[in-house]
Amino acid sequence: MITIKRTTPSSSAPEAETAVCVLTASGLLGLGAAAVSAAAGATPEQALASGYAVGPVVLGATIALGRRGYKWAASDRFNAWADHRPIRQVSAVFAGSPFLSVGVLVLFVPVMGLGLLDAGYGRAVRRYRSGAIHIAAACMPAHARERWLDTVAESLHETPPEKHDALVRNFIANAPIEIHLAWSGRRRAGSER
């Protein structure tokens, strides 16, 4: 017996439509989560992080289901049953899910990462912040670098540990000004010589 394996046709229109729907839904879920967190008394940063975190989690679940659906939709059994039925449109939507998953990952992973960094969660975040301080320092001329790192160390020592995250964030936020001042001060010193 010869079996002819048919695959589900994938048209770009339903894919795009689904992408928009899923992204919108996850965005709304994220906003909802942020609103709930804010209402529960979370700081704006924590609310933002909740929003960033919940959206992709729901999206991940949708994509996982979508991929299973795609496998199912590509099976002979399904094709035999779905021919000439409106449900075939749904199978085309599932066919787009691998593309969706890549797109969504590309879009949301950095956003989620930024959200978590912004809220200051986890050891990795602290490591990142410490790395950011050293990257900023590396952008300064030697004399300014040493002085700025001394100031950071002095401030960290003088500040209680529970305020270190806010302190380091404040130094990172002001690092571009420090870099600008360091180089403009050096240029001025050079031209005055």
What residue ranges bind another protein (CB under 8 A)?
Answer: 147-148, 150-151, 153-155, 157-159, 163, 166-167, 170-174, 177-178, 181-182, 185, 188
Shortest Cβ 115–another protein spacing (Å): 19
Neighbours of 73 (CB within 10 A): 23
Q: Provide the minimum distance between the beta carbon of 154 and another protein in the complex, in angstroms, as a whole number.
A: 5
Question: Least distance from C-beta 168 to another protein, angstroms?
Answer: 8
> What single string gives the DSSP state of each residue in 7-29?
-----HHHHHHHHHHHHHHHHHH
If the CB atoms of residues 83 and 158 are measured against another protein, the closer one turns out to be: 158
Q: Which is nearer to another protein, 6 or 163 (CB)?
A: 163
Q: Which is nearer to another protein, 11 or 151 (CB)?
A: 151
Q: Which is nearer to another protein, 9 or 44 (CB)?
A: 44
**Alpha carbon distances (Å) from 178 to 130, 151, 172:** 17, 12, 10
Q: How far is it, in rounded angstroms, from Cα 185 to Cα 76?
A: 73
Rounded least distance, CB 48 to another protein, Å: 15
At a CB cut-off of 8 Å and minimum separation 6, what does 167 contact?
155, 156, 159
